[in-house]
Amino acid sequence: MSIFTGAWEYLANPDNWSGDTGIGTRILQHLWYSLLAVALAAVIAVPIGLIIGHLRRGQIVVVSLVNALRSLPTLGLLTFLVLLMGLGVMPPILALVILGIPPLLAGTYAGIASVDRDVVDAARAMGMTETQVLLRVEVPNALPLILGGLRNATLQVIATATVAAYVNLGGIGRYIFDGIALYKYDRVVVGAILVAVVALVVDGVLALVVWASVPGTGRLRRTPNLARV
């Protein structure tokens, strides 16, 4: 029996989808780790990107920080965090948060910085405060790029969240690490297939959200009505 045949038979067996170690539970664990990491990364990266993009200052810092964080190897960072903090959920979550910050920060900054200056100046001329300009003019117009950064960050985190199994946590990565340890390479294929499918489904949903945020007929409206301010 080939590795791929064994993987297909494992996926096709309904018994493998239920229980505490079933495929359904592993997928939910994987999504939970990913959602938590992306949410924490957004809390850190989005406000920084908004401020820097609005003030048009600190661009060099943003580029340097993004490049530095992207160069960090996730597995090496996870190993360091485990040695520093011990086993648990925090080391892999922190590693995934660091992975998710660069695309969120870059997308948010690029979105705010790309807003037409004439629109921003018009909002200021009508008496808007800087906070109102940011939240009611710049953010709505920058939303497609901000959501694009969220999409990229989510996809990267989901694809990399398999490292959580490296420190004995759950998730889809459990199939990969356990399969390697037990020489059951069909389970490795099962893990790879599940990660790819989950990533594609989530990416498809976020792609629709990004599409809906673009100004146009039948989509979310991004241009504020300054006459009502």
More confident residue, 35 or 80: 35
Residue 182 structural domain: 3-228
Proportion of the chain above pLDDT 90, given as a percent: 31
Q: Mean pLDDT across the chain, nearest whole number?
A: 85
DSSP H helical ranges for the chain: 3-12, 23-55, 59-70, 74-85, 90-113, 117-125, 130-133, 139-160, 173-181, 185-213
Tell me which residue of 196, 153, 207, 150 sits closest to 173, measured CA to CA: 196
pLDDT of residue 168: 73
State the pTM of this model: 0.85
Token pair of 87 as six digits: 């086993």
Distance CA 130, CA 54 (A): 9
CB 105, CB 62: distance < 8 Å: yes
Whether 226 has a pLDDT exceeding 80, the answer reads no
Number of compact structural domains in the chain: 1
pLDDT of residue 120: 85
Distance CA 183, CA 140 (A): 51
Q: Tens digit of pLDDT for each residue in 114-140?
A: 888 888 888 888 888 888 888 888 888
pLDDT of residue 216: 64
pLDDT of residue 228: 44
pLDDT of residue 198: 94
- Which residues does 221 contact at the CB level (< 8 Å), separation at least 6? 215
Please report, for the domain that includes residue 50, its CATH number.
Answer: 1.10.3720.10
What are the angstrom distances between the C-alpha of 64 and each of 55, 68, 73, 84, 124?
18, 6, 17, 26, 31
pLDDT of residue 104: 93
pLDDT of residue 1: 56
| Cα atoms in the 13 Å half-sphere on the side-chain side of 70 | 14
Own/partner contacts of 181-186, CB < 8 Å, gap of 24 or more, are: 185/3, 186/3, 186/4, 186/5, 186/6, 186/7, 186/10
pLDDT of residue 206: 92
Q: Tens digit of pLDDT for each residue in 49-101?
A: 998 888 877 777 777 877 787 777 777 888 888 888 877 788 888 989 998 99
